[in-house]
Amino acid sequence: MEENLNIQGQPDNIGSEAELSSNGEQPSGEMDVKKINVNIIDGGRDGSNLNEPKKKNEFWSKTGSFIRSKRSYIFAFFIPVVLLFAAYACFGVHPFGDMSVLVLDLNGQYVYYFENLRDILHGNGSPFISWSRNLTGEIMGIFAYYLASPFTLIPMLLPRSMMTESLLIMQLCKVGAASVTFNYYLRRSKGSKGSTAMLFGILYSLMGYMIVQLMNPMWLDGLIYLPLIVYGIEKIIDDNSWLRFIIPLALMYMAHFYIGWMITFFSIIYFLYYYFAGKKNYTHSFKSFFFSGVKFAVGGVIAAMSAAWVLLPLYNSLKLGKFEFSNPSYDLKTQFDFIDFFKNLLPNVYDTCRPEGSPVVYCGVLTVILIPLFFLNSKIRFRQKMGMGAVLMSVLLSMYLSTADLAWHGFQVPNWLPYRYSFTFSFILLVMAAMTFERLEGISVKEIGVTGFGLMLYAFYVGRQDFKGVDLVMSVWYTVIFTLIYCIVLRSIKMSDKTKRAVLTFVIGIFTAGELFGSTLSTMEAINKDVVYSKYSSYNRYITLGRDTVKKILDQDSFDEGGVYRIEKNFHRTVNDAMAMGSFGVSHSSSTLNSAPIQFLRRLGFSYGGHYIKYKGSTYVTDSILGIKYVMEKDTISKDEGDETIVDAEEKIPENKHYDKLVLTNKDDKEIMAVYENPNALPVAFMADSSILDVQFGTDNPFENQNKLLSHLVSDEYTQYFKQISIDRTVPENAKQTSYGAHTKYVPIEQGKNSHIEFLFDAPTEDMIYLYLPSSYERKVNLWLNKEFLDYYFEGGNMVIQTLGRFEKGEEISLIVTITEDKNEVLFKDKLLYYLDEEKFTEDISRLKEHGLKMTHFEEDHIKGEITAEKDGVMFTTISWEPGWTVKVDGEKVEPVKVCDALIGVELTAGTHEIEMTFFPAGLSAGIILSLCGIIAIIIIAVTEKKSDKILLDRLND
């Protein structure tokens, strides 16, 4: 029978109104109400409010009674919240310092998506599509992948100026909620006392996986729903009831399908364990197994149906590129040393969140002590020991063997943060530990001592090995000290009566809180060394100044010609800046990528990184065709050095290599932003020659690709806008040239000395000159132009078109490629130097501009306008091709055509046409219908189960 005890061991319902009434005594709240009523009758002027004091006292009495009855859950929520907040405070997170919670994905992706969603919910933007990502792209996939958690409401409702603080609050709430659900599970499923459930709920909510994955807050919903889903599985098998399984699983699928997939995997394993080894009524038959299995499977289908409004649009989003993002190998291999894996159970062991990282499974020293005792415990059934051991081994082998690990990850190789389902391993460990803690009478004092001694020996063994992320003090001695403390307290608990046991449980809880606080803070410090937390001031100042600058641009642009244009920047905090600043651009990174526009932009010479494009590598041609009308530059006004603020003596407006027309400047006390206008920017849709449908791009020469693109937008003839410049001389310095397949390879002759290659050439005209160095082997190098540093090249998305600038006709130009010491080689397929025939370029861009779409209405998902075609052709748009767009010409629906394998085109006949384009996510309509069907099924099940319970109760009463 469940026993509800708080840490002090007192019954949860002591002092409740119900209990006093059952003893025949009048509740104190009601007695007070009578006295108040007498006073009012005696001294009041009227009796109009006679019941008001009574109602108020009843309200507070019921509230107090509710709080008393649920105080175990309240403590379970707030204790880990306070511990995590205290760790953040000591780490220096604002307002206790200038750190923020922003790190890795939370810093580079999530925070920008939260900013964008906040704009949408406040009426700025479409919930279906965004023009702030890779030209354009659906937004439902991003919502489903990153933002669908109900906890997202927290940053949506708090002021924008509190974005980083609201993310902190959201993290705290998720941690607290995970503690509550695990507490609930232990009490309902395992019959744990309130104090035990609270203790292990705190361990669950602050385990290593939780702290590391605070950088991916959407994954944390899995830790909240997992205990409820597991309890639902048990209810299917024990009570033939499946509502408690369907609802949390449906909510999990809505919150995050990816972790939901992993929990589904785990649920199958757990179902088999619980039916054969864990259920209360230990009888088996094929019939009962079959019907339980059917309910389990159908329940999963109903849950997925209920979440279909999220899942189907997400599926269509992932089809655009994520499914082909990696090319996994299904060859079976091991992924780590099996014995060395167990060091990850120790506190303060963090190696890295990079792809080579090991599983994060730490969940408390107390847990590690209690696991061997679980298998030694005479009060735990043998089949449970074997069953839970089998579950534990199943998850461990899944992490150990690459093919199984791949299946858990949706048959995709994780891009950083491996073993993303390791929280299921910690979940089982904590359940086993809690069961052992409740049954200490089943083990001996000797077994406690031997187990603790063995753990201390193992900690010293780990300390003697050369393990990355293991610190002698914080890992080894931390383990030893807490092992000693816990063993002493466990011995005392075993030897004590019920009252003393409650006090000792409270004591062990205090030490556990101290351990978790220390491990949390240590993990934060380790993550900061690994991937660096962002500063609070840098993010807020940057976004505030950027948003204000974009707003000023949009206020100033009158859009007289009815066009919509893009804004880009030659500086980046991350490639997702546009989503936070509210501008339309080409830069973007997310897991829900559309690979076609990314490859299109890559082949035009932009910075590329697999799942992202950055606005770096632009030319006059690409800026004009892509409708980039404004380009922003940034420079520093002042910087902090120690306790001093260094202010530039002469404030300079940052210049742009391409454009001279300065539109506006904007600054704060640290930075200045300058905005330049591109006079040749084309609208997002304009008439082009039909030959554009036949254009195919090569992979190694972005200048030829731009020549093809612009030529066939104008006519069916090829025009050489970019013209190649020959290199006059190549002068190697301490570098030997060899051939390496299709590449030319340079390596240092003498190590430790400067090694470079100098290319000398003459400027043929005063037009803009560009450089591109294609290579299949990217080795970071430094570029020097006329003895001045230009940029890095190759690694880090730097294999892009480099703008060298304008020079006097006939001027000799020096380009030096410096081989870095850590790479010791550089390989080129070619050295591509081109200049742009600016006169011909300007002439043909002007022709295209004359036949642009004159917009009469613009929303991101709804465009109306008028366009005139001199001859039959194609309305070329810089809108990404993806399912969901509907195009009407003169009121009639038409099928768009794909241009350059990436963009939307519309074939038009000569004349003036009314154009309308609307976007609605593919799969959303079907998803809504399926979700409604799923919800109806849940209602039917709920009504049926209620009737069944009523019939059963009536029979019992009879």
β-strands 566-569, 628-636 pairing: parallel
Q: What is the pLDDT of residue 6?
A: 36
Q: Which CATH number fits domain 844-919: 1.10.1200, 3.30.70, 1.10.357, 2.60.40?
A: 2.60.40
Return d(Cα 308, Cα 940) in angstroms, integer.
19
Region 662-689 average pLDDT:
95
Dump the DSSP string for 471-515: -IIIIIIHHHHHHHHHHHHHHHHHHS-HHHHHHHHHHHHHHHHHH
When pLDDT is cut at 50, 70 and 90, the band that residue 36 belongs to is very low
Taking alpha carbons only, the member of 919, 903, 887 closest to residue 688 is 903
Burial class (CB in 10 A: 0-12, 13-18, 19+), 792: middle
Burial class (CB in 10 A: 0-12, 13-18, 19+), 170: buried
Region 230-247 average pLDDT:
95
Taking alpha carbons only, the member of 547, 627, 557, 559 closest to residue 848 is 627
- Amino acid type, 325: F
pLDDT at residue 600 is higher than 50: yes
Q: What percent of the chain has pLDDT over 90?
A: 82
Q: C-alpha dihedral over 403, 408, 410, 412, to 10 degrees? A: -50
Burial class (CB in 10 A: 0-12, 13-18, 19+), 660: exposed
Region 496-509 average pLDDT:
89
pLDDT at residue 415 is higher than 90: no
pLDDT at residue 289 is higher than 60: yes
pLDDT at residue 33 is higher than 60: no
Q: Which of 5-19, 53-67, 380-394 is the least confident region?
A: 5-19
Taking alpha carbons only, the member of 700, 709, 815 closest to residue 762 is 815
Region 522-545 average pLDDT:
95
Helices (H), 698-745: 702-714
Q: Which of 227-231, 276-280, 488-492 is the least confident region?
A: 276-280
Q: What is the pLDDT of residue 14?
A: 32
Return d(Cα 901, Cα 697) in angstroms, integer.
9
Return d(Cα 559, Cα 482) in angstroms, integer.
68
Region 37-53 average pLDDT:
47
Region 562-573 average pLDDT:
90
Q: Which helix (H) or strand (E) holds 917?
A: strand 911-919
Q: What is the pLDDT of residue 647?
A: 61
Region 143-167 average pLDDT:
96
User: From edge to edge, which strands make up the β-sheet containing 735-740?
Assistant: 735-740, 743-748, 826-828
pLDDT at residue 8 is higher than 70: no
Q: How far is CA 52 from CA 35, 48, 49, 249, in A?
A: 13, 9, 5, 44
Taking alpha carbons only, the member of 619, 615, 604, 623 closest to residue 680 is 623
Q: What is the pLDDT of residue 51?
A: 59
| Pair of tokens at residue 587 | 């830069």
Q: How far is CA 561 from CA 564, 625, 852, 866, in A?
A: 9, 17, 9, 11
When pLDDT is cut at 50, 70 and 90, the band that residue 49 belongs to is low
Q: What is the pLDDT of residue 675?
A: 97
Specify the residue for token string 């609270």: 198
pLDDT at residue 560 is higher than 80: no
Backbone angles phi, psi at 868, to 5 degrees: -115, 125
Give the helix, strand, coil percentages of the chain, each rounded to 5: 50, 20, 30
Residue-range domain boundaries for the chain: 17-69, 334-495, 722-836, 844-919
Q: What is the pLDDT of residue 650?
A: 60
Return d(Cα 256, Cα 250) in angstroms, integer.
10
pLDDT at residue 322 is higher than 70: yes
Q: What is the pLDDT of residue 643?
A: 55
pLDDT at residue 646 is higher than 70: no
Taking alpha carbons only, the member of 388, 475, 400, 469 closest to residue 433 is 388
321, 594 Cβ separation under 8 angstroms: yes
Taking alpha carbons only, the member of 277, 278, 116 closest to residue 189 is 278
Region 24-34 average pLDDT:
37
* Chain mean pLDDT for the chain: 91
Specify the residue for token string 């859950």: 73
Return d(Cα 910, Cα 713) in angstroms, integer.
16
Please compute Rg for the chain using Cα positions.
33
Helices (H), 335-444: 365-376, 382-400, 402-408, 423-438
pLDDT at residue 69 is higher than 70: yes
CATH code: domain 722-836 is 2.60.120.430
Return d(Cα 823, Cα 14) in angstroms, integer.
71
Q: What is the pLDDT of residue 958?
A: 60
640, 652 Cβ separation under 8 angstroms: no
Region 170-175 average pLDDT:
98
Return d(Cα 685, Cα 690) in angstroms, integer.
14
Q: What is the pLDDT of residue 482?
A: 97
Return d(Cα 903, Cα 137) in angstroms, integer.
11
Q: Does the pTM exceed 0.85?
A: yes
195, 203 Cβ separation under 8 angstroms: no
Q: What is the pLDDT of residue 329?
A: 86
Region 679-687 average pLDDT:
96
pLDDT at residue 5 is higher than 80: no
pLDDT tens for residues 441-478? 999 999 999 999 999 999 999 999 989 999 999 999 99
pLDDT at residue 23 is higher than 80: no
Q: What percent of the chain has pLDDT over 70?
A: 91
pLDDT tens for residues 375-396? 999 999 999 999 999 999 999 9
pLDDT at residue 147 is higher than 50: yes
Same topology, domains 722-836 and 844-919? Answer is: no
Secondary structure in 3-state letters for 431-455: HHHHHHHHCHHHCCHHHHHHHHHHH
When pLDDT is cut at 50, 70 and 90, the band that residue 610 belongs to is confident
Taking alpha carbons only, the member of 430, 425, 109, 420 closest to residue 260 is 420
Region 50-64 average pLDDT:
68
Highest mean pLDDT among 64-78, 489-503, 552-566, 605-619: 605-619
Q: What is the pLDDT of residue 24?
A: 34
Q: What is the pLDDT of residue 953?
A: 64
When pLDDT is cut at 50, 70 and 90, the band that residue 559 belongs to is low
pLDDT tens for residues 78-134? 999 999 999 999 999 999 999 999 999 999 999 999 999 999 999 999 999 999 999
Dump the DSSP string for 203-215: HHHTSHHHHHGGG
Q: What is the pLDDT of residue 4?
A: 37
Q: Say how far residue 838 (Cα) sits from the centre of its chain.
A: 43
Taking alpha carbons only, the member of 746, 945, 760 closest to residue 246 is 945
Helices (H), 256-376: 257-273, 286-306, 308-318, 365-376
